[in-house]
Amino acid sequence: MSGPGEMIADALREIAAEEGPPGPMAEATWRAGPMADAAWRAGRRRRLAALNASAVTAAAVVAAAVLVPLAAQGGPAHRQPPAPASQQGPAAPIRLRSPIQFRQVAAINPGACPAGSGGLRLPDSGAPGCIYLTRRGLTVTAVRSAVVIRTGPGQYALNLVLTRAQRGPWAALTRQVSGLRSPRDELAVIVDGRVIAYPAIDGAITGGSLLIDFATRAQVERVLWSLRIRCAHASGTGSVTLVHPGSCG
Amino acid sequence: MDERARRDFGEFAAARSAELLRLGYLLTGDHHAGEDLLQSALAKAAAHWERIHGAPEGYVRRIMYREQVSWWRRRARRLEIAVAEVPELPARDEVAGVEARLALRDALLALPPGKRVMLVLRYLEDLPEAQVADILGCSVGTVRSQTHKAIAQLRAALPSVGQASTEVSR
């Protein structure tokens, strides 16, 4: 290797050594367990994402979780801290570039979807699968808020708060499908013709706030890309709130 | 069988995560993003664990490199500055000083991720251009030109930082 090459290699080695806690192995080992578990689930389990139907509010979730800027790697990301939720008032709805469809699952078959079957491919997983839907569902074109939360190493959740107008139909839909025989108790979440999750619904969700879990950053990024929520405001502490595109300047 | 594969996977992750996290940090320049990159690569490795059982680390590293470059390709819409000639870095003695080393570190972290991946593969992993091209799924010409541009960018960053530190010392 030539001179500049050695110099660069040394400098790269020094940068790599910056990663890691002062106590060399302790934290890395602590992190490895949960990371491996989550990665295994993401890679192996048929069901990648689950809808958390707990009655959380967006504000409560934001307060409890560590948030990170999804735009952080993109260079000149917006760096202004977001206004606290309490100061934002009754925000105008965020119009999504692509609607989010929630559709009741009719059946899930192993293997790829036959051509012309009308089924949709299951989200990334080890084994291919094909999901069929009923006509029952709800299409969301705007939300009150959309916040991405980093819930653990490499794990993210998208918290959506539905508009007031959507809450009634959403509660009715979740009430209708809950308790049905599996997989008819599941709602597929579809963005841009792709199923991103198909959680089972345990009961009516009346609060209008839902949390969609993703096991990898790549998954949540794909969804954000599809929704084209393109403006992220990041604070100095590493939080991000996805806000109305019109207010990004 | 699945339980055994899972245990095997867990042992691999426990043994190699610290090292792989360092690679993630090096490639992304950010602790969280580095973790995320590793997490994503581990998930992909888990999906094909039985097939890659023999050499999982190489497989995971390869995914990390590819993913970082494709992430960068998807998002990078930067204006590239063309350079006419192969730039030379300052001689090794000139970067012996702490300031210069810090400047080189900062310049490396300021590189677009795709270019940094090239330098990691070419100089840290010490791989020939053809193998780098194979890992990243691009042409040898792209490896050559991106490496060239990355070095040009480092070279451009180093003198200015050197001047600044001289002014401070007066």
DSSP string, B136-149: HTS-HHHHHHHHHH
A76 with A129, same domain?
yes
Confidence of residue A29 (pLDDT cuts 50, 70, 90): low
Quote the DSSP letter at residue A126: S
Name the pLDDT band for A6 (thresholds 50, 70, 90).
confident
| Confidence bin at A18 (pLDDT 50/70/90) | confident
Cβ–Cβ contacts within 10 Å for residue A23, how many? 8
Q: Count chain A–chain B contacts defined by CB atoms under 8 A.
A: 168
Using a CB-CB cut-off of 8 Å, the residues of chain A touching B122 are 5
Same domain, A2 and A109: no
Instruction: State whether B124 and A13 contact (CB < 8 Å).
Output: yes
Q: In A, which residues are within 8 Å of B26 by CB distance?
A: 12, 15-16, 19
What are the structure tokens assigned to A145, written together? 């808020």
Q: Quick one: pLDDT at residue A61?
A: 35
Q: Which of residues 14-73 of B touch A (CB under 8 A)?
A: 14, 17-18, 21-26, 28-40, 42-49, 67, 71
Task: Name the nearest CA neighbour of A72 among A146, A16, A14, A150.
Answer: A150
Task: With a cut of 90, say whether residue A44 has pLDDT above it.
Answer: no
CATH, residue A143: 3.30.1360.200
On whether both A185 and A220 belong to a single domain, the answer is yes
* pLDDT at A193 exceeding the cut of 50: yes
Q: Which of the listed residues A9, A29, A44 is the one where a domain comes to its end?
A: A44
Same domain for A199 and A112, yes or no, is yes
CATH number at B78-170: 1.10.10.10
Report the range of poorest mean pLDDT among A14-28, A195-209, B15-29, B103-117: A14-28
Which residues of chain B neighbour A33 with C-beta distances below 8 Å?
Answer: 10, 13-14
Same domain, A173 and A95: yes
Q: How many domains does chain A have?
A: 2
Mean per-residue pLDDT over chain A, rounded: 67
Q: How far is B23 from chain A (nearest CA, A)?
A: 6
Q: Are residues A145 and A161 in the same domain?
A: yes
Residues A190 and A168 placed together within one structural domain of the fold: yes
Confidence at residue B78, expressed as pLDDT on a 0 to 100 scale: 35
Regarding whether A24 and A73 lie in a shared domain, the answer is no
Mean pLDDT (chain B, rounded): 77
Contact yes or no for B46 and A42 at CB 8 A: yes
CB spacing of A154 vs B39 below 8 angstroms? yes
For residue A20, what are the domain limits?
A: 1-44
For residues B111-137, average pLDDT:
89
Rounded to an integer, the average pLDDT of B71-88 is: 45
pTM over 0.80: no
Q: Are residues A218 and A138 located together in one domain of the fold?
A: yes
Confidence of residue A173 (pLDDT cuts 50, 70, 90): very high
Domain spans, chain B = 1-75, 78-170
Residue that terminates a domain, selected from A44, A64, A79: A44
Q: Do A183 and A223 lie in a common domain?
A: yes
* Judgement on whether residues A122 and A169 belong to the same structural domain of the protein: yes
CATH (residue range B1-75): 1.10.1740
Distance CA A216, CA A221 (A): 9
- Mean pLDDT for the stretch of residues B69-91: 50
For residue A183, is the peptide bond before it cis, meaning its omega torsion is within 30 degrees of 0?
yes
